[in-house]
Amino acid sequence: MRVNTRKWLFGGGLCVFVFVELQKLELKLKTLEKEIKNNDAAMMEMRQKLRAERLKIKEFENMKKKISEASADGGENNVDSAGGGAPGVLQLPKKAEQIRKEQENVAAAREHAEEEEQAKRGVIAEPLNNNNDNNHIDNEVPVKSDRVSNSRGVLLNRNGQTPTNKGAIVKKFFADLVMPYAEVGQDMCRAISNMSAARSDIQMLDLYNTIPFDDPDGGVWKQGFDIKYDEEKVKQEKRLEIIVTPHSHTDPGWITTFEGYYNSQTKYIFENMLLSLQSMERMRFIYAEMSFFEKWWAEINDEQRAAVQRLLHQGRLEIVSGAWVMTDEANAHYFATVSEWIEGHEWIANHIPDYKPKNHWSIDPFGLSSTLAFVVSKANLSNALVQRVHYSVKKHLAEQKQLEFKWRQLWSGADASNDLFTHVMPFYSYDVPHTCGPDPKVCCQFDFWRLSGQAACPWGVPPEEITERNLARRAAILYDQYRKKAQLFRRNVLFVPLGDDFRYGSAEEWRLQHDNYIRLFDYINAKKEWNVHVRFGTLGDYFELDHARVEEFKGEADGEVPVLSGDFFTYADRNDHYWSGYYTSRPFYKRMDRVLQHYLRSAEIIVSLAISKDSRAESIIQEMYGLLVEARRHMSLFQHHDGVTGTAKDDVVVDYGQNEVVVFNSLAQPRHEVVCVQTKHLKTEVSRPSYPNIPVPQQIAPVLKRTSRNIEFEFGKYELCFMATVPPFGFEVYKLHSTPNAVGGGASKVSLRSRKKITSSDFMTELIQEPYFDLDNEFVEAHFDATTGLLKSVTPSDGHEVSVNLSFVQYGVRSKNPGKFQGGDDLSGAYLFLPNGPAREMRPQNGYQYVVVDGPIMKKTDIYDCCHGLLLLAISDCYCYFVIIFQMIKRKRFAKLPLQAHFYPMPTSAFIEDNSNRMTIFSAQSLGVASLESGWLEVMLDRRLNQDDGRGLFQGVTDNKITRSKFRLLIEPLDVNKRLNREPDSKSTTTAYHSLVGHYVSLQLQYPLMSMFSSAGQSETMASPTDYNEESNKKYAPAKSKALILHRLGAECGSKLRLHSFCSTSDGKVKVSKLFEGKPTRIRETSLTLLYEGNSNDNFDEVQIKPMDMRTFRLDFTRGFS
Mean pLDDT over 442-458 rounds to: 95
With a pLDDT cut of 90, the percent of the chain lying above it is 41
Output the average pLDDT for the chain: 78
Position 572 scores a pLDDT of 95
281 burial type by CB count under 10 A (0-12 exposed, 13-18 middle, 19+ buried): exposed
For residues 921 and 939, give the distance between their C-alpha atoms in angstroms, rounded to a whole number. 9
More confident residue, 612 or 682: 682
745 pLDDT tier (thresholds 50, 70, 90): very low
The lowest-confidence range among 384-393, 652-661, 788-797, 940-949 is 652-661
On whether the CB atoms of residues 394 and 224 are closer than 8 A, the answer is yes
719 strand-pairing partners: 678, 701
For residues 833 and 900, give the distance between their C-alpha atoms in angstroms, rounded to a whole number. 6
Helices (H), 352-438: 370-378, 391-399
Q: Which one of 295-299, 707-711, 730-734, 842-846 scores highest in mean pLDDT? A: 295-299
On whether the CB atoms of residues 338 and 379 are closer than 8 A, the answer is no
For residues 116 and 122, give the distance between their C-alpha atoms in angstroms, rounded to a whole number. 10
Position 1119 scores a pLDDT of 57
On whether the CB atoms of residues 666 and 1010 are closer than 8 A, the answer is yes
Cα–chain center distance at 284: 37
Dihedral sign for Cα atoms in the order 579, 587, 911, 1000 = negative
For residues 675 and 1010, give the distance between their C-alpha atoms in angstroms, rounded to a whole number. 9
The lowest-confidence range among 123-132, 723-732, 896-905, 1052-1061 is 123-132
Going by C-alpha positions, the residue among 131, 151, 156, 127 that lies closest to residue 32 is: 151
Q: How far is CA 867 from CA 272, 843, 872, in A?
A: 52, 9, 12
Amino acid at 843: R
The lowest-confidence range among 81-90, 236-245, 757-766, 870-879 is 81-90
With a cut of 80, say whether residue 254 has pLDDT above it.
no
More confident residue, 113 or 1098: 1098
Position 40 scores a pLDDT of 46
- Residue 44's SS3 state is helix
Q: Is 1098 assigned a catalytic role?
A: no
**731-738 vs 749-753, strand pairing mode:** unpaired
Q: Which CATH superfamily is domain 649-808+843-871 in?
A: Golgi alpha-mannosidase II (2.60.40.1180)
Amino acid at 894: F
- Residue 1090's SS3 state is coil
Going by C-alpha positions, the residue among 1111, 1108, 1117, 1052 that lies closest to residue 1086 is: 1111
Position 147 scores a pLDDT of 27
88 burial type by CB count under 10 A (0-12 exposed, 13-18 middle, 19+ buried): exposed
Q: Which of 40, 251, 328, 364 is catalytic?
A: 364
On whether the CB atoms of residues 175 and 966 are closer than 8 A, the answer is no
Mean pLDDT over 917-921 rounds to: 90
H or E element, residue 297? helix 290-297
Going by C-alpha positions, the residue among 736, 727, 621 that lies closest to residue 676 is: 736
Position 748 scores a pLDDT of 58
With a cut of 80, say whether residue 89 has pLDDT above it.
no
Position 264 scores a pLDDT of 92
For residues 839 and 679, give the distance between their C-alpha atoms in angstroms, rounded to a whole number. 41
H or E element, residue 233? helix 233-236
Dihedral sign for Cα atoms in the order 720, 726, 731, 734 = negative
Task: Transcribe 470-537 into DSSP letters.
Answer: THHHHHHHHHHHHHHHHTTSSSSEEEEEEEEET---SHHHHHHHHHHHHHHHHHHHH-GGG-EEEEE-
More confident residue, 1068 or 643: 1068
Amino acid at 157: N
**317-319 vs 285-287, strand pairing mode:** parallel
Length of the chain, please?
Answer: 1122
1089 pLDDT tier (thresholds 50, 70, 90): very high
Q: Where are the domains of the chain?
A: 34-72+91-182, 202-583, 649-808+843-871
437 burial type by CB count under 10 A (0-12 exposed, 13-18 middle, 19+ buried): buried
- Residue 1042's SS3 state is strand
Mean pLDDT over 714-725 rounds to: 89
For residues 770 and 785, give the distance between their C-alpha atoms in angstroms, rounded to a whole number. 9
What's the DSSP call for residue 853?
E
More confident residue, 846 or 202: 202
With a cut of 60, say whether residue 744 has pLDDT above it.
no
With a cut of 90, say whether residue 247 has pLDDT above it.
yes
Q: Which CATH superfamily is domain 202-583 in?
A: Glycoside hydrolase 38, N terminal domain (3.20.110.10)
With a cut of 80, say whether residue 574 has pLDDT above it.
yes
Position 905 scores a pLDDT of 93
More confident residue, 103 or 325: 325
Position 486 scores a pLDDT of 98
For residues 853 and 765, give the distance between their C-alpha atoms in angstroms, rounded to a whole number. 10
For residues 379 and 976, give the distance between their C-alpha atoms in angstroms, rounded to a whole number. 38
Phi, psi of 908 (to 5 degrees): -135, -35
Mean pLDDT over 638-662 rounds to: 52
For residues 415 and 406, give the distance between their C-alpha atoms in angstroms, rounded to a whole number. 12
538 burial type by CB count under 10 A (0-12 exposed, 13-18 middle, 19+ buried): buried
**609: Cα within 13 Å, side-chain hemisphere:** 19
The lowest-confidence range among 624-628, 688-692, 906-910 is 624-628
Going by C-alpha positions, the residue among 473, 183, 133 that lies closest to residue 1053 is: 183
With a cut of 90, say whether residue 137 has pLDDT above it.
no
138 pLDDT tier (thresholds 50, 70, 90): very low
For residues 667 and 601, give the distance between their C-alpha atoms in angstroms, rounded to a whole number. 10
With a cut of 70, say whether residue 123 has pLDDT above it.
no
Position 132 scores a pLDDT of 38
